[in-house]
C-alpha cells in the first residue's frame, strides 16, 4: 500500500494494487474508487483531504 498526498491540489491517493484501472466509481463528490477488471480495489482518491498529519497503525494476525 502506498499513500500519496498532493498538497497543491489537497488530494490524497491511497494505492492498494498496481493493477490497471478498469473502472472509476464516484462514492461522493470528494471520494472516488478505482477498480480493476475483476472488480477489486486498486486505489482511493480523496479530494479536499486536508491532511495535516498522518499516522499509521499496522495490525497483524487475527484478533479473534
Is position 54 within any domain? no
Is position 57 within any domain? no
User: In angstroms, rounded to a whole number, what is the distance separating the alpha carbons of residues 31 and 63?
Assistant: 30
The predicted structure's pLDDT at residue 64: 53
Please tell me the total count of domains within the chain. 1
Is position 58 within any domain? no
Which residues have CB under 8 Å from 19's CB, separation 6+? 36, 37, 40, 42
The predicted structure's pLDDT at residue 23: 98
Nearest to 15 by CA among 5, 32, 1, 25: 1
Is position 63 within any domain? no
Is position 56 within any domain? no
What is the span of the domain harbouring residue 28?
Answer: 2-47
Residue spans of the chain under pLDDT 50:
none
The predicted structure's pLDDT at residue 53: 78
Is position 59 within any domain? no
First to last CA, the chain: 24
The predicted structure's pLDDT at residue 60: 80
Is position 37 within any domain? yes
pTM listed for this prediction: 0.81
Q: Is 42 helix (H, G, I), strand (E, B) or coil?
A: strand
Amino acid at each position: 500500500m502506498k499513500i500519496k498526498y498532493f498538497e497543491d491540489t489537497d488530494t490524497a491517493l491511497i494505492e492498494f494494487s498496481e493493477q490497471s484501472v478498469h473502472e472509476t466509481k464516484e462514492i461522493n463528490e470528494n471520494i472516488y474508487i478505482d477498480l480493476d477488471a475483476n472488480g477489486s480495489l486498486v486505489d482511493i482518491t480523496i479530494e479536499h483531504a486536508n491532511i495535516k498529519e498522518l499516522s499509521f497503525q499496522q495490525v497483524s494476525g487475527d484478533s479473534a
